[in-house]
Amino acid sequence: MVVLAASIISKSGKALVSRQFVDMSRIRIEGLLAAFPKLVGTGKQHTYVETENVRYVYQPIEGLYLLLITNKQSNILEDLDTLRLLSKLVPEYSPSLDEEGVCKTAFELIFAFDEAICLGNKENVTVQQVKQYCEMESHEEKAHKLMMQSKINETRDVMKKKASELDKMKMERGKLDKGGYSAISGPRVVEKAFGDMSITGSGFGSGSGLGGLSMDMDSFASKPKGRPSAAATAPGKGLGMKLGKTQKTNQFLESLKAEGEVILEDVQPSSVQSRVSPLPPSDPVTVTIEEKLNVTVKRDGGVNNFDVQGTLALQVLNDTDGFIQLQIENQDVPGLSFKTHPNINKDLFNSQQVVGAKDPNRPFPSGQNETPLVKWRIHGMDESSLPLSVNCWPSVSGNETYVNIEYEAAEMFDLHNVVISIPLPALREAPSVRQIDGEWRYDSRNSVLEWSILLIDQSNRSGSMEFVVPPADPSTFFPISIGFSASSTFSDLKVTGIRPLKDGNPPKYSQRARLVTANYQVV
Amino acid sequence: MEKPSTLLVHFDKGSAAMAGEIKADLEGSDVAAKVDAMKRAVMLLLNGETLPTLFITVVRYVLPSEDHTIQKLLLLYLEIIDKRDAAGRGLPEMILICQNLRNNLHHPNEYIRGVTLRFLCRLSEPEVLEPLVPSILENLDHRHHFIRRHALSAISSIYRLPHGDQLVPDAPELVERALASEQDASARRNAFLMLCTCAQERAVAYLLSNADRVAEWPDLLQMAAVDLIRKVCRSPNRADKGRYIKIIIALLSSPSTAVVYECAGALVSLSSAPTAVRAAANTYCELLSSQSDNNVKLIVLDRLNELRTSHRDVMVDVVMDVLRALASPNLDVKRKVLDLVLDLLTARNVEEVVLYLKKEVVKTQAGELEKSGEYRQMLVQAIHACAVEYPEVAGSVVHLLMDFLGDTNVAAAVDVVLFVREIIETNPKLRVSMIQRLIDTFYQIRASRVCSCALWILGEYSLSLSEVENAISTIKQCLGDVPFYTVSEEGEATDSAKPAQPVVNSVTVSSRRPVVLADGTYATQSAATEAISTPSVAPGSLSSTLNLRSLILSGDFFLAAVISCTLTKLVLRLEEVQPSMVEVNKACTGALLVMTSILQLGQSSYLPHPIDNDSYDRIVLCVRLLCNTGDDVRKVWLQSCRQSFAKMLAEKQFRETEEMKAKAQISHAQPDDLIDFYHLKSRRGMSQLELEDEVQDDLKAATGGFTKDAYDANRLNRILQLTGFSDPVYAEAYVTVHHYDIVLDVTIINRTKETLQNLCLELATMGDLKLVDRPQNYTLAPESSKQIRANIKVSSTETGVIFGNIVYETSNVMERSVVVLNDIHIDIMDYISPATCADVTFRNMWAEFEWENKVAVNTVIQNEKEFLDHIIKSTNMKCLTPPSALDGECGFLAANLYAKSVFGEDALVNISIEKQFDGKLSGYIRIRSKTQGIALSLGDKITLKQKGGS
């Protein structure tokens, strides 16, 4: 009792529209439809034709045939019901019942067919219901939209209030001292307010969540979004909103991670990571220390978000080497907090900075997979700790926009494979680069200019580039995303030694530490 | 495995150049333009373009759109794009759509959620599905039934994917829970179906725990339940079959006819017990009478027919119920009913059946039905068949039927008269009354064919004195006063003949067309024979009693010859039974007078055509005979005729029994079949269940799942070389011809030391062939090879030609190089298969078809029979002319051949050959068909092959 396909063909045998409900190859369905007009006899008083393999149940509608193809065991009574329903639907959706009219409304017909037949099974629906389904009018959606609108308004009010408070505060502070202190502490208040909001309004992040998936995507996904984002509505005081948004993205990421979504890791098309992908380890024990940077810097200076997440992962090749403890040491950085795997002995870690299993009889898991043992987070670092800062100065002169970009790297790190991606307005040809330290590449598909510097060390702590494009709004060159890697970390966490739990020599081990960017943007 | 196609839209204006336009529209913000662009994009994709760059545009600009139509079109777009690369791995960019789908699954609009879930049913990429699973599961508890429905089917299809059970490991439990609390009929059905396919034991448990309430279930769910029961009971040795049967019985009283129909089918497959089968048969019969739709009736009759083959004994009891369906006005239904009933006749029910048929016949007389004539003919044939099988019933119907001898429907009347002829021979007891009846009703007969047959019966079976005398007087009465024509009448006659002239002329014109006679002889018809087949109504209807006279005056001399023969025969018989010679002589002179009058009429100028030579000779022979009788002649005339008729009947019977035997042979058990021992536990139900597996196969066959790969030695014979060995690109093709399509597997080898870029196999076709896919470009490394597959659709039987070339670029030559391929000829023989049809239909088609191709015979074969065999073999047709008619050496041969193409087209061939004095064969082969293609291609084929000898 399966309908293989519902089709409309012209009397001359031209297949106008056909919707298949089970898997069949194109040549098969075309063959079946082409054979049909030859099989249909004239002057018959019944409207079905059987061939060796299939049964056609049809109904002539003016110059067309409405046709169901079923298998031969199909229940004819049901099929006729379905056909009757479809024959009522066709004139509803196609006002003129000729080839042209049907072709014009082909997709509407397909949508209607879909409602009437579900995976080849008949649905008990009426014409009215199908129409309702196809119109897709939903009260819930309307209610939801209203709610969203009111929430946005509400938030805007709160924001205004906060902003005015801030102004007031700033003015008071300005009177007291002239430190850059307020730049950091100010937005934090706002951030909190937005954090609250984003938790309650769950649907709000649906559009912007895409940005969280990939940095690449984010650069253009934020552009075409028709959503009246708060940043657009209040550009002057939008700093808080911006912050909230990235915050939200991160939260989304976190929540996805918490749900155990592996997919996110795959998605990140971070060119940096792929280039420095480690060779398969040859030592019996490998410790990987990795820190990921999540940074959002404002284009006019100041840090929106500066967050470092680190992991210490262990890879043990053989079971026998699994009974070990790791002695670690790290630099004391303010704002650093550790989190250990539930199976790690916490006391031991807190008191002696030794990573060992709670149950001494259980070895660390072995194999090709890395097991994360310790995670840490550093937050609340200030602008001065940024490894790389980028300044972008677009200036319009006449028919051209000159864009000057410079970078400045901190002394702490030597940065490898630095890529600075600047979104450009859609261009027909590559921008003309006047001056550059390093190399550039233009990705016309995504209209992104990539400025890459292989290594930033003592010799080139700062550099610049200049290019010219047709006139464009300065904001189009943001957000700039930056990717790099470095071999030292913020926490400077190290494994100083491995102690075997059982007798014997400690296994040989290697450790690798690196700092990579997860999301480093200038907005 | 070929990519499944999910939708087709007719679109012929597409070109790759539109891609830019579409892109621009998609990037714009105008919703209407976006919708339109999406539609065009989908249509272009369906047309075979690949549009690889469009994806990112869609992701960027279409994905975030809020518009519902755009979202729906987007799903269609995603449905048809290639989601896997050449190696079958999922494309990485598909991940990009994941987030959008996820959002859609949380969309506040329930319909967006629903259509997205429905789209997921058609998705088979685990990479994409995996992150969506939690959202899908959330939707299971949504309060809107539209969403729940589709969520359930989405889970079902995900679970059915390979490794789907790892994606949703707890799907069966979830679905079972959902099913328990679900209220919506459709959602329940989907849930139940999911359990049926994925976790049968759970479905069974649910069904059995709800067994009492099944009757109250909504019909959709009932259908699914019946389906499950069929499936469950397929496994052998179910001890608990009874419980299922109980459910089925409960469902038989369902208000939904669809369920009832399904139940009947299930019942038969569950059990072969007579009770079950009877219940099923009764259900079908009820449907047959309650449903007014002809389609339903016909298909139900098919089901009953299936039951007949397997359970004839049960079906015999419901014969009368089936017969009731004759009340339907549809002739197809009636025909099927009659066929079915005739197969179910037994000595017990034949009386009843014939009685019913008789009533129906009477009804046709009264009713003003449109097709009553045709229906009556069917009934007459049915009664005829009954009477042949059970001669005892003949007596009760034959008299009734004889009323129809004068029927205006000639075909029905002919059937009646043939029936009478057969019965009178096989049923001697009825002879007297029948002859009496025939003599009484003779004057009503209008059609000349019926007349001649009736005359033959009179001449042959009038035995007693009174019968013979009555017969002679009846014939004379019908002829009216002789002479038919007097000189004095000439004046008026020419007057009255004038208006008749053009009519007759038109007959001659139309009769110029050659006609194939029943025995396969190919004759140019004369006007006289034409008049036989078409009842001459115009002159005949003038006088009511003088039917013979009017027929003769209309120029039917063949009938006149028959009259002469009949009179001769009757006079000869009279000589035997009449003691008084005076009377005999009187009759004899009377007959002679009639004959001479006919001859006179034939030679007069009264009729536009003089008597034809055959009839003239025959009548003259009769005259001579009557004047000069002898024992030999008497024996020939009085006995041999009857004998040869009896022999013909016997042969007919013999042939029928032969056919029956041949049919029976087929149903004999195979050597390796299991044997059922009646006394042991019957396995019959089980073998029935094995049949049930065909249900699954049925679906597969319907979707084209069965494409057998015959890697036999023949395969190599069909390889065609497309380019030369010294060409830079060598190509050869293996051609596979399926029913509606041709697959070319082309192997392309780069013979150069350079890389060939943008290598493209361009094909074009001639005839009714169509390329399905657009050619793709390939890059071919030095001395490497590539397999390219091209599908070509065929829509009618015709010799097709595929030609084409290979185009490529090399790095050092700027312009593209072209290698032209050999043509590939598609042989018509792959499409036609031998078939049979009745003589009458063959002749109807022959007259109807427009295209004729006439091929003169030119062959080295010397023997007619051998030549015929040669043609049959080389054209793959069937000879309709029975072998007995082809026996013997006479220097002539005429035969009809017939074949049908897979597209249902008919191909007719007539061969008429004659052996010349020098031993050579000469003659013509004529091919007729409805379409030009077959006539031409078959003609070419015959011209090519007929030479033979080699």
Q: Token pair for residue B440? A: 């009484």
> Per the structure block, which two tokens stand in for A211?
């940005």
**SS3 state at A522:** strand
Cα–Cα dist B908/B849, whole Å: 9
Beta bridge partners of A59: A66
CA distance B760 to B725: 19
Identity of the residue numbered A327? Q
Is the confidence at residue A243, as pLDDT, over 50?
no
What is the assigned CATH class of domain B830-946? Answer: alpha beta
Got the DSSP string for A218-274?
HHHHTTT--S--HHHH-STTTHHHHHHHHHHHHHHHHHHHHTT--HHHHH---HHHH
Task: Give tens-digit pLDDT for A12-35.
Answer: 778 889 998 888 888 778 878 877
B40 touches chain A (CB under 8 A): no
In 3D space, the residue among B868, B890, B888, B863 whose CA is nearest the CA of residue B879 turns out to be B868
**Residues B164-176 pLDDT 10s:** 788 888 888 888 8
The interface predicted TM-score (ipTM) is: 0.72
Whether residues A141 and B107 touch (CB distance < 8 A) is answered with yes
pLDDT greater than 60 at residue A284: yes
Span A453-481, pLDDT tens digits? 888 888 888 888 888 888 878 788 888 88
Tokens describing residue B133: 């699973």
- CB interface of B with A, residues 883-922, below 8 Å: 903-905
For residue B208, the tally of other CB atoms under 10 A from its CB is: 13
State how far residue B61 is from chain A, nearest Cα, in angstroms: 7
Structure confidence by residue, pLDDT tens digits, A256-270: 455 544 433 333 343
CA atoms lying within 13 Å on the CB side of residue A360: 6
- Is B702–A69 a contact, with Cβ atoms under 8 angstroms apart? yes
Cis peptide before A280 (omega within 30 of 0): no
Cα distance between residue A446 and residue B361, in whole Å: 83
pLDDT at A152: 92
- C-alpha radius of gyration, chain A, whole number: 32
Which of B96, B150, B186 has the CB atom closest to A124's CB atom? Answer: B186
CATH topology identical between B713-826 and B830-946: no
> What pLDDT is stored for residue A25 in this prediction?
80
> Given this model, what pLDDT does residue B714 score?
60
Q: Is residue B293 within 8 angstroms of chain A, CB to CB?
A: yes
Residue A61 has pLDDT above 70, yes or no: yes
- pLDDT value at position A40? 79
Q: How many CB atoms lie within 10 A of CB B851?
A: 15
Mutate to test the interface with B, among A7, A12, A45 (most CBs of B within 10 A): A45
Q: Which one-letter amino acid corresponds to residue A516?
A: V
Average pLDDT over residues A282-300: 82
- Of the candidates A27, A107, A209, which has its C-beta nearest B99's C-beta? A209
How confident is the model at residue B674, as a pLDDT? Answer: 64
Crossing angle between the packed helical segments A106-116 and B31-46, to the nearest 10 degrees: 80
Provide the token pair at B158. 């995900």
- CB-CB: which of A22, A48, A143 is closest to B295? A48
End-to-end CA distance of chain B: 44
With CB atoms and an 8 Å threshold, state whether B904 touches A39: yes
Which pLDDT belongs to residue A346? 82
SS (H, E, C) B892-942: EEEEEEEEEECCCCEEEEEEEEEECCCCCEEEEEEEEECCHHHHHHHHHHH
pLDDT tens readout for residues A133-190: 888 888 888 888 888 899 999 999 999 999 999 999 888 887 766 544 444 444 444 4
Quick one: closest CA in B to A267, which residue?
Answer: B95
Shortest distance, CA A180 to any CA of chain B (angstroms): 39
Domains of chain A: 3-135 (3.30.450.60), 285-381+490-522 (2.60.40.1170), 384-486 (2.60.40.1170)
Architecture of domain B713-826: Sandwich (2.60)
Cβ distance of B106 and A144 shorter than 8 Å: no
Q: Where exactly are the structural domains of chain B?
A: 349-461, 462-485+544-640, 713-826, 830-946
For every residue of B679-702, DSSP letters joined together read TS---HHHHHHHHHHHHHHHHHHH
The minimum CA-CA distance between A399 and chain B, rounded to whole Å, is: 25
Can you give the three-state secondary structure of B511-565, one letter per residue? CCCEEECCCCCEEECCHHHHHHHCCCCCCCCCCCCCHHHHHHHCCCHHHHHHHHH
> Which residues lie across from A372 on neighbouring strands?
A313
Out of A31, A76, A213, the one facing B295 most closely (by C-beta) is A76
What is chain A's mean pLDDT, rounded? 75
Distance CA B495, CA B207 (A): 88
* A57–B61 CB contact, under 8 Å: no
Q: Are A234 and A275 in contact (CB under 8 A)?
A: no
Query: Residue A407: CA atoms inside 13 Å, Cβ hemisphere, count?
Result: 31
Are A39 and A51 in contact, with CB atoms under 8 Å apart? yes
Answer whether B771's CB lies under 8 Å from B829's CB: no
Chain A contacts in chain B segment 170-229 (CB below 8 A): 185-186, 189-190, 193, 218-220, 223, 227
Instruction: Say if CB B646 and CB B425 are below 8 A apart.
Output: yes
Report the relative pairing of strands B785-794 and B769-771 from DSSP bridges: antiparallel
Residues of chain B predicted below pLDDT 70: 1-2, 13-17, 234-239, 367-371, 482-545, 664-670, 673-717, 739, 797, 813, 948-950
Per the listing, tokens 């077959």 go with B934
Number of H helices, E strands in chain B: 42, 19
Residue of A nearest to B790 (CA): A27
CB contact under 8 A, A26 and B8: yes
Chain B: closest CA distance from residue A513 (Å): 29
Closest Cβ–Cβ partner in A39, A53, A76 for B299: A76
* pLDDT band of A208, cuts 50, 70, 90: very low
B76 and A224 within 8 Å at the Cβ level: the answer is no
Q: Among B4, B98, B157, whose Cβ lies nearest the Cβ of A24?
A: B4
